[in-house]
Amino acid sequence: MDHITQPPIEEQVSLLNQRNEDLVFINSIATALTSSLELNLILDYTITRVLSRMDVEAGEILLCEEGNDIMRLALYRGQAAEPFWGHEHCQCKECLTKYPGLRHHFTTTTEDGNYCQFNQQMKDTGFHFWATIPLTAQNKLVGVMNILSHQERQLTQREIELLNAIGSWAGNAIENARTHHHAQRLAVLEERERVGMDLHDGTIQSIYGVSLALEYARSVLRDSNDGGQVLEKIEQAIEGLNGTIRDMRAYILDLQPRQLRDDESLMHGLKRLIDEFHKNSIIVGSLAGPEIDPTGFPKSHARALFHICQESLANIAKHSHASQANINLWTTKDRAILEIVDNGKGFDPEESASALGHGLSNMQLRAHKVGGDVEIISASGEGTTVLAWVPRYPL
Question: Which of 121-125, 270-274, 374-378 bottoms out in mean pLDDT, i.e. has the lowest?
Answer: 121-125
Where in the chain are all domains bearing CATH 3.30.565.10? 261-395
pTM summary value: 0.46
Q: Average the pLDDT over 250-256 and give the result.
A: 57
Burial class (CB in 10 A: 0-12, 13-18, 19+), 356: buried
HSE of 249, CA atoms in CB hemisphere, 13 A = 16
Return the CATH class of domain 9-181. Answer: alpha beta
* Cα–Cα distance measured from residue 325 to residue 315, given in angstroms and rounded to the nearest whole number: 11
Per DSSP, the residues of 134-182 read: EEEETTEEEEEEEEEESS-----HHHHHHHHHHHHHHHHHHHHHHHHHH
The SS3 call for residue 393 is coil
Q: Residues 350-372: pLDDT tens digits?
A: 665 444 455 677 788 889 889 99
- What DSSP string runs through 218-271? HHHHHH---HHHHHHHHHHHHHHHHHHHHHHHHHHHHHS-----TT--HHHHHH
Write out pLDDT tens, residues 261-315: 778 899 999 998 898 888 777 788 899 999 988 888 999 999 999 989 988 988 8
The more confidently predicted of residues 173 and 156 is 173
In the chain, % of residues over pLDDT 70: 66
Outline where the chain has alpha helix (H): 9-34, 39-54, 82-85, 92-98, 120-124, 157-198, 205-223, 227-255, 266-280, 299-315, 357-369
Residue 166 has pLDDT above 50, yes or no: yes
pLDDT at 245: 66
Phi first, then psi: what are they for 373, rounded to 5°? -160, 165
Most confident of 6-20, 96-110, 175-189, 219-233: 175-189
Residue 326 has pLDDT above 80, yes or no: yes
For the chain, residues classed under CATH 3.30.450.40 are: 9-181
Of 205, 201, 207, 214, nearest in space to 240 by CA: 207
The number of C-alpha atoms within 13 Å of 321 and in the hemisphere containing its C-beta is 11
Average pLDDT over every residue of 337-357: 76
Mean pLDDT of 232-261: 67
Number of neighbouring beta carbons within 10 Å of residue 14: 12
Looking at domain 261-395, which CATH architecture does it have? 2-Layer Sandwich (3.30)
Three-state DSSP class for 67?
Answer: coil
Region of poorest pLDDT, from 54-63, 84-93, 205-214, 314-323: 84-93
